[in-house]
Every structure is written in C-alpha cells, then in structure tokens.
C-alpha cells in the first residue's frame, strides 16, 4: 500500500509491512536527525501546522522533520489567533490552507475536527492529536522506540507483557498505540488506571479479538510487577468534567523510582509520551528518575519523533525513493550523545 497523498488520521491505517517500510526510511534518515547529513528531498514544499491545543514536542518535531527534509513550515497556534474567533468554519479554513500548503498537520480539541479538515481539503492532513481520540504519529514513534529498545535487550515484542498506566480513558496516545501493538502476536496488556479513567471498552474488545490478553486493574503496584514495557500517561485533567475532577481529588497514582526499583523487572522499558506533570503531588511518572536511567526511554522516544515524522512526510509526499541519493554531509557542529543508550539508539536504529 502506498501512503502517497493519503491523510493520516488513525493508527488503524497501518499494517506491519507498511510500518516496516516506514521504519526502514526512518533508519535511513538517522544521520539527518543527528545533523550529520542533510537532504533536500522536500525543497520548495510548504507544510501548514495548525495547533489548537497546547503542544511542544509534537509541533517542534513535525516542524523540524519537514525543515530537515528541505521544506519550510507555516504555523498557526491557538484558536484565539485564528479566524475561528470570527466564526470561520473548519471546512473553509481547510480549503484555504489547501491552496497554500502541500500538507497539513492539525491538532484540535474536538475528536471530529480532524475529519472535517480531511473531508474539505485536497492535500494530505496528518492528525497531530484529536481530542481524546487518537495520536497516530505518537504511536508510530512509540513503536519505533519499543522495537529499538527490545532489540537492544534481546527481547521479542510477540508474547511480551505491556503495562499501560495512567489516564487510559482520555489519553489518546494509548488509544493509538494499543492498535499498533495489536499487530503483533500474543501480548498481555495490563491496563492500570485510577477509577473512572479506564480504557474504552471497544479498544479492549478489539485487542482481544486479535488474540491478546487484556487485564484491567486499579492496582498500579501489582500491574508493574512483570512488565517488559511500562507505558505511563498523564492524567488529562483538561478533558474531565468538574465531577470527574472532584472524584479524582486526593487519589495517588504515581510511578516513582522507588516503585520501579521495588516491583518492576530490572530491564523494564519505561516510556511516556510526555509532557509528564512534574508538579509536587502530581499523579504521573515521577521526576525522581535520573534522566540517564537506562530503563527510561522517554527521550529516545522524543528523538524517534523526528525520525519517524521525517519518514512519514517522505512517504505521504512520495519522495521516499529519493532519500538515499540525496544525502550529503552536514558541515555544522553537533554535540555528542548524552548517554550510552542514546548512542546505541542512533547507531542501530530499528534494523
Ligand atoms: C500527548 C498528547 O498531546 O496527546 N503528548 C504528546 O503529543 N507527546 C500526551 C499528553 O498531553 O498527555
């Protein structure tokens, strides 16, 4: 299947051959991500980036990806600075952007907005997060990271044990990732959430229908005990009603270094889409982990965002076959890797 000209709205659009192809191009682009090589496969192309919800890494990495391929980016962030405040429909906005841009990345707080964009435009639209729906490119970079970490550890994804912990109801990254992980065989998913923030049942059923075991629990500590992968997410307070917020008042759901040391297997891979809430008392992956802790893959995850989004742009705009011959040495200074695992990540990639 070719991705050329396609909208990227859901991780359910991907199968394993397509992911293998995408990650092959991502690996090819490793030296570009490291600033060792340059490419100009997208010279002259323009990306529109429309973010109506807060974002740091998603927006930066989409922008950096397009620009490192030789293209340029035009941004608009915040509803308050867009013509939405003048009553413009998303359909009109999409049509306008389609006349200016070659592709569009959209993040919107309403689940259906991404489809309104996609249905009103003739250029590829990439979902940068639609409400509590999906975040397909996050899942792409998450799976790239999982493949790389598991390879380093000599583990298989088939048959592995995955614990997803946190706000599984509103956390869209989980919704996209469980679909991609379900392409493997015989996984055991342990879905650990505070009460009221359980994973939507249709996702549980879909994973079970593919032959995976899915357990649901409110007991965080027990859920971590035999995990090969622990994927933590932030509590999405901004998506909750006042009564849901009140119901969660005072609860403790925190993944600390102490908990990981005591309960989790020594070689557990710990991931989080970020941002993690670092405020005192936050129910999240705690900041007391050393950022160089080998278990913590969160910054290799963010690094993978650049790679996988570059690969995706190449495929969606149909230039992936030009990458190889386009690579030229870069001339500017770049710092060394910050940890051994980071160095290994860039050395081997996904191959
Ligand atoms: C997440 C998001 O926006 O869905 N972050 C990200 O894009 N990496 C997670 C979150 O906001 O909790």
State residue 339's pLDDT score: 73
212 given a catalytic annotation: no
DSSP helix/strand/coil, 199: coil
- Distance, in Å, from the CA atom of 26 to the CA atom of 20, rounded to the nearest integer, reads 10
- Side by side, the strands of the sheet bearing 72-77 are 72-77, 46-51, 103-108, 125-130
CA of 56 to the centre of ligand 1 (A): 9
- Is 173 close to ligand 1, i.e. is its CB under 6 Å away? yes
**Residue with the two structure tokens 């229908």:** 209
State residue 306's pLDDT score: 97
**Residue with the two structure tokens 């079970």:** 208
**Which atom from ligand 1 is nearest to the alpha carbon of 173?**
4
CA of 274 to the centre of ligand 1 (A): 6
**Which atom from ligand 1 is nearest to the alpha carbon of 233?**
12
- Distance, in Å, from the CA atom of 274 to the CA atom of 272, rounded to the nearest integer, reads 5
Structure-derived torsion over alpha carbons of residues 257, 259, 264, 268, reported in degrees to the nearest 10:
-30
Contacts with 40 (C-beta within 8 Å, 6 or more apart), sequence order? 69, 70, 326
Contacts with 320 (C-beta within 8 Å, 6 or more apart), sequence order? 25, 311, 314
234 given a catalytic annotation: no
- Distance, in Å, from the CA atom of 110 to the CA atom of 153, rounded to the nearest integer, reads 39
State residue 240's pLDDT score: 92
For a mutational test of ligand 1's pocket, the pick from 274, 285, 309, i.e. the residue with the most ligand atoms closer than 8 A to its C-beta, is: 274
CA of 273 to the centre of ligand 1 (A): 6
pTM equals: 0.96
CA of 332 to the centre of ligand 1 (A): 32
CA of 109 to the centre of ligand 1 (A): 12
Say which of 7, 68, 108, 135 is annotated catalytic: 135
CA of 342 to the centre of ligand 1 (A): 22
CA of 23 to the centre of ligand 1 (A): 22
DSSP bridge partners of 165: 192, 232
- Is 234 close to ligand 1, i.e. is its CB under 6 Å away? yes
Q: Could you read off the pLDDT tens digit of each residue along the chain, which spans 351 residues? A: 899 999 999 999 999 999 999 999 999 999 999 889 999 999 999 999 999 998 889 999 999 999 999 999 998 888 777 887 788 889 999 999 999 999 999 999 999 999 999 999 999 999 999 999 999 999 999 999 999 999 999 999 999 999 999 999 999 999 999 999 999 999 999 999 999 999 999 999 999 999 999 999 999 999 999 999 999 999 998 999 998 888 888 889 999 999 999 999 999 999 999 999 999 889 999 999 998 999 999 999 999 999 999 999 999 999 999 999 999 999 998 887 767 777 777 777 776
**Which atom from ligand 1 is nearest to the alpha carbon of 58?**
7
Nearest CA, atom 12, ligand 1: 234
Alpha-helix residue ranges (DSSP H) falling in 154-185: 172-181
218 given a catalytic annotation: no
What is the 3 state secondary structure string of 114-154? HHHHHHCCCCCEEEEEECCCCCHHHHHHHHHHHHHHHHHHC
- Distance, in Å, from the CA atom of 272 to the CA atom of 101, rounded to the nearest integer, reads 32
- Is 129 close to ligand 1, i.e. is its CB under 6 Å away? yes
**Which atom from ligand 1 is nearest to the alpha carbon of 57?**
8
Nearest to 110 by CA among 53, 62, 195, 69: 53
**Residue with the two structure tokens 């933590």:** 232
308 near 144, Cβ under 8 Å? yes
DSSP helix/strand/coil, 229: strand
- Is 135 close to ligand 1, i.e. is its CB under 6 Å away? yes
CA-angle at 84, arms to 83 and 86, nearest 5°: 65
**Which atom from ligand 1 is nearest to the alpha carbon of 54?**
3
- Cα Rg of the chain (Å, integer): 20
- Is 58 close to ligand 1, i.e. is its CB under 6 Å away? yes
**Whole-number Cα distances in Å, 219 to 67, 170, 250, 278:** 44, 19, 16, 22
Nearest to 330 by CA among 71, 39, 29, 67: 39
Structure tokens given for 188: 């055991």
Task: Tell me phi and psi for residue 322, to 5 degrees.
Answer: -90, -10
- Distance, in Å, from the CA atom of 229 to the CA atom of 269, rounded to the nearest integer, reads 5
- Is 57 close to ligand 1, i.e. is its CB under 6 Å away? yes
């Amino acid at each position: 299947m070719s991705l050329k000209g396609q909208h990227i709205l859901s991780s359910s659009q991907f199968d394993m051959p397509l992911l293998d192809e995408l990650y092959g191009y991502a690996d090819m682009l490793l030296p570009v991500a490291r600033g060792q090589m340059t490419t100009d496969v997208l010279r002259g192309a323009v990306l529109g980036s429309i973010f109506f919800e807060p974002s740091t890494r998603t927006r930066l990495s989409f922008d950096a990806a397009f620009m490192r391929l030789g293209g340029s980016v035009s941004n608009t962030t915040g509803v308050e600075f867009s013509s939405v405040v003048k009553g413009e429909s998303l359909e009109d906005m999409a049509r306008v952007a389609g006349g200016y841009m070659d592709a569009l990345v959209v993040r919107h707080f309403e689940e259906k907005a991404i489809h309104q964009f996609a249905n009103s435009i003739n250029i590829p639209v990439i979902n940068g997060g639609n409400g509590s729906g999906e975040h397909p490119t996050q899942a792409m970079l998450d799976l790239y990271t999982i493949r790389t970490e598991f390879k380093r550890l000599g583990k298989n994804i088939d048959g592995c044990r995955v614990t997803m912990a946190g706000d599984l109801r509103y956390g869209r990254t989980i919704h996209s990732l469980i679909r991609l992980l379900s392409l493997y065989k015989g996984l055991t998913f342990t879905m650990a959430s505070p009460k009221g923030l359980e994973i939507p049942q249709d996702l549980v059923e879909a994973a079970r229908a593919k032959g995976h075991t899915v357990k649901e629990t409110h007991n965080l500590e027990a859920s971590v005990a035999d995990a090969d992968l622990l994927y933590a997410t932030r509590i999405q307070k901004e998506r909750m009603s006042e009564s849901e917020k009140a119901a969660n008042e005072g609860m403790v759901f925190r993944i600390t270094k102490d908990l990981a040391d005591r309960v989790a297997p020594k070689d557990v891979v710990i991931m989080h889409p970020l941002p993690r809430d670092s405020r005192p008392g936050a129910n999240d992956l705690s900041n007391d982990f050393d950022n160089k802790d080998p278990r913590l893959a969160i910054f290799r995850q963010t690094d993978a965002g650049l790679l996988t989004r570059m690969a995706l742009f190449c495929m969606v705009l149909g230039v992936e076959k030009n990458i190889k011959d386009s690579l030229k040495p870069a001339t500017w200074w770049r710092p060394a890797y910050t940890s051994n695992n980071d160095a290994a990540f860039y050395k081997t990639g996904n191959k």
